[in-house]
Amino acid sequence: MMKWHVLVLAAMLMLTALGIAGYKWQVLGYPVKPDASIDTWLVEAKLSFEAIGGATRAALNVPVDPPGYTVLDENFISRGYGLSTESAGTSRRAVWTTRRTAGSQALYYRARVVRSTEPRPPEGLPALAKVPEYEEPFGAAVLAVLDDVRARSADIFSFATALVMELNATQPSPNVTLLIDGANTAEEKAALAVQMLASARIPARKVYGLPLVDGARDIQPRTWLQVNNGERWQTLDPLTGAIGLPDDVLLWWQGEAPLFEVTRSRNAVAQFSAIKSVEPALSTAASRSRAEQASLSKVSLLDLPVQTQNLYRVLLLIPLGALLIVMLRNIIGVQTFGTFMPVLIALSFRETQLVGGVVLFTLIVALGLTIRFYLERLKLLLVPRLAAVVITVILLMALVTIASHRMNLEIGLSVALFPMVILAMTIERMSIVWEELGAGDAIRQGIGSLIVAAACYLLMFHPQVEHLVFVFPELLLLVLGITLLVGRYTGYRLTELRRFRDLAK
């Protein structure tokens, strides 16, 4: 019964860990590699004009929740202007106002965006536009074209596609020629299509997007056509009928409103530029999940102050060391001084590096043991003797540091990071084993502890492991699950296969 309980609990913990980590990796884009990077775009809209004096009001459409992208952050840059943003339905405008101004003015809007594959929530059906009224012969031509298109389509999207194809046919029918009437640009074709679709009671709209080109200084917005089938908006290229928005296009605004409106000004012009920058995938993922308000980002360590983050970077690794100890002790059967002493030693190896750490550790323990054997002759009580060992260990550490500083050896300086109480306890335990079981056992166990500490160090401070645990701390639930499983492992330890080998003869 208990075995099942543990199995189920462990399985639940492990599945939870893998589930959360998998979601963060696949959906939120947290990188599993420590040095992964991701492209982010800095897109800037510059609205420049010459004010002719007096109160001026400048309005600029800005993106709101563009499909395929997440806005990580945005800035409005202007001097001497009051700023407000107005949201109306699915569009948003930045409105700058000032009481008096003159001369050439420049207002900026900057947004940092990143590609996002987050599925979009369903958008409802918009209010239907009024059926436009045409004069003859246009009305008849529209009906003829729509009838023709309807005959060749199955649903709303294929209807819209067929209509766009019809408007762009190389040899258009007389009806289409009449309606097009010289409309050649994407903007004009899209406007025509929106109108004609309104006649067929299909909601459609024009949307404007920026093709993002790295380093481009003057990106021209282009028009796309969007059609709603009652559940979502589908984007169509008004010139080719191609379905979907190209990946590199950032939708900026939509609808009939002009890109900008500036009162009391001359020569108003809006310019778009874009710069691609490569940022660590980790910080991008973190700010994206914040921007998208993923609830998981609320428990992210990445929001903590850097100092605290660094503390947890180390702290979160201890469970891995503990798991390794569990494996080594309960499955292999290795003996060490103090259960988790090697983990703590491994932590200090982080600063000294492995080889330096092993050398320093051996040096300090050897010197400490010598002193401990001398103290043994003085017949001191246990606690004062331990304290004496701690004091001499600290003095030894100071001496080692000074000596290595004299010799210009950087490594010796980090000896101070060894946990000296742990060292003193190790020395004490080792000297007792030395006396009771002999030098061989003591040295064997000492070397065993050192090897286990080195193994802990190699596991815990592997850059990949360090990264995974810090970015996906939920993986510790996996570690917990494995630990619980090992806790119910009642099979033989590896060393027992050797210990009991005579029985099997």
Partner 1 sequence: MYFAWPGKLKRLGVVGLNQRNGDYISQLNRRSDYPKVDNKLITKQLAVDAGIAVPELYGVVETNHDAQRLASLLAPYQDFVIKPAHGSGGEGIVVIDGRQGRLFRKASGQLVTLESLEHHVGNILSGMYSLGGQPDHAMIEYRVRFDPLFKDITYQGVPDIRTIVFKGYPVMAMVRLPTRSSDGKANLHQGAVGAGINIATGVTHHGVFNSMKIDHHPDTGHAIGGHAIPQWDVLLRLAAGCFELTGLGYLGVDVVLDADKGPLILELNARPGLAIQIANGTGLAPYLRKIERDGNPKASVEDRVSYVERTLADTPAD
- Does residue 497 interact with partner 1 by CB under 8 A? yes
Least distance in Å: CB of 13 to partner 1?
A: 19
- Does residue 432 interact with partner 1 by CB under 8 A? yes
- Would you give the binding string for partner 1 spanning residues 458-487, x where CB under 8 A is met? -----------------------------x
Least distance in Å: CB of 494 to partner 1?
A: 8
Residue 391's contacts (CB-CB under 8 Å, 6 or more residues apart) are: none
Least distance in Å: CB of 432 to partner 1?
A: 7
Which two structure tokens, joined as six digits, stand for 106?
């420049």
Least distance in Å: CB of 421 to partner 1?
A: 13
Binders of partner 1 among residues 44 to 63 (CB under 8 A) are none
Helix (H) or strand (E) holding 98: strand 91-98
Residues binding partner 1: what is the number (CB under 8 A)? 26
Least distance in Å: CB of 405 to partner 1?
A: 36
Gap between the Cα atoms of 290 and 297, Å rounded: 6
Least distance in Å: CB of 25 to partner 1?
A: 35
Residue placing its CB nearer to partner 1 in the complex, 87 or 490: 490
Residue placing its CB nearer to partner 1 in the complex, 4 or 135: 4
Residue placing its CB nearer to partner 1 in the complex, 126 or 419: 419
- Does residue 5 interact with partner 1 by CB under 8 A? no
- Would you give the binding string for partner 1 spanning residues 324-343, x where CB under 8 A is met? ------x--x----------
Q: Given the rule CB under 8 A, which of 223-231, 250-258, 455-463, 491-499 is the region that contacts partner 1?
A: 491-499
Q: For the purposes of burial, counting CB atoms within 10 Å of the CB of 143, is it exposed (0-12), middle (13-18) or buried (19 or more)?
A: middle
- Does residue 298 interact with partner 1 by CB under 8 A? no
Least distance in Å: CB of 504 to partner 1?
A: 4
Give the up-direction half-sphere exposure of residue 198: CA atoms within 13 A in the CB hemisphere.
Answer: 19
- Would you give the binding string for partner 1 spanning residues 248-267, x where CB under 8 A is met? --------------------
Gap between the Cα atoms of 349 and 353, Å rounded: 5
Residue 290's contacts (CB-CB under 8 Å, 6 or more residues apart) are: 297, 303
Are 424 and 345 spatial neighbours (Cβ–Cβ below 8 Å)? no
Are 487 and 6 spatial neighbours (Cβ–Cβ below 8 Å)? yes
Among 8, 391, 437, 447, indicate the residue that binds partner 1 (CB under 8 A): 437
Q: Given the rule CB under 8 A, which of 61-69, 288-296, 463-471, 496-504 is the region that contacts partner 1?
A: 496-504
Gap between the Cα atoms of 249 and 260, Å rounded: 20
Are 466 and 460 spatial neighbours (Cβ–Cβ below 8 Å)? yes
How would DSSP label each residue in 230-247? SS-EEEE-TTT--BS--T
Least distance in Å: CB of 407 to partner 1?
A: 39
What number of other Cβ atoms are within 10 A of residue 444's Cβ? 14
- Does residue 407 interact with partner 1 by CB under 8 A? no
DSSP secondary-structure letter at 251?
Answer: E
Least distance in Å: CB of 496 to partner 1?
A: 5
Residue placing its CB nearer to partner 1 in the complex, 8 or 128: 8
Are 39 and 114 spatial neighbours (Cβ–Cβ below 8 Å)? yes
Least distance in Å: CB of 490 to partner 1?
A: 4
Q: Is the torsion defined by CA of 460, 462, 467, 472 positive or negative? A: negative
Among 11, 217, 258, 500, indicate the residue that binds partner 1 (CB under 8 A): 500
Residue placing its CB nearer to partner 1 in the complex, 433 or 460: 433
Residue with the two structure tokens 């710069």: 275
DSSP secondary-structure letter at 302?
Answer: G
Give the up-direction half-sphere exposure of residue 71: CA atoms within 13 A in the CB hemisphere.
Answer: 17
Least distance in Å: CB of 2 to partner 1?
A: 8
Select from 122, 119, 124, 110 the least CA-distant residue to 292: 119
Binders of partner 1 among residues 380 to 399 (CB under 8 A) are 381-383
Least distance in Å: CB of 321 to partner 1?
A: 21
- Does residue 491 interact with partner 1 by CB under 8 A? yes
Q: For the purposes of burial, counting CB atoms within 10 Å of the CB of 4, is it exposed (0-12), middle (13-18) or buried (19 or more)?
A: exposed
Torsion of CA 248, 253, 259, 263, to 10 degrees: -140
Q: Where are the beta strands (DSSP E) in 333-395?
A: none
Residue placing its CB nearer to partner 1 in the complex, 395 or 497: 497
Sheet of 37-51, strand order:
69-77, 103-115, 37-51, 265-280
- Does residue 377 interact with partner 1 by CB under 8 A? no
Residues that bind partner 1 (CB under 8 A): 330, 333, 379, 381-383, 432, 436-437, 487-493, 496-505
